[in-house]
Structure 1
């Protein structure tokens, strides 16, 4: 019984040592050095409200200064 137990422990130890050694060798082969330069582009442009007064009521509408176009389709009460 003791001989059988010693044999299993010895085989387990040898198996673990072989596995750990092979993993280290395989890990060294797959190393790649990658360097990328990324620039950050803003998602939202320069957008702000423009106001006008018609018959004493104040209206607002979104204007995009980057596109020189209206963002909102209609004037709304402010």
Structure 2
């Protein structure tokens, strides 16, 4: 009877420790939320157009979808 009780306690504690290690490993994998990652550098593009035979350019930020400069004569 004593051997069965010791064996049951040893088996129970082993199972309990193994379960805790598995839970810690599973929780450690979700440290980075990839949906909230954003690029650190903005994507800037020069846009060109011709007005009255003259070439103009303007800087556009494609990451934020806004103009960064006024029209500049080239």
Task: Tell me which interval the TM-score lies in, with the shorter structure as reference length.
Answer: 0.3 to 0.5
Q: Identify the structure with the greater helix proportion.
A: 2
Rg larger in structure: 1
What TM-score, normalized by structure 2, do the two folds share?
Answer: 0.45
What TM-score, normalized by structure 1, do the two folds share?
Answer: 0.43
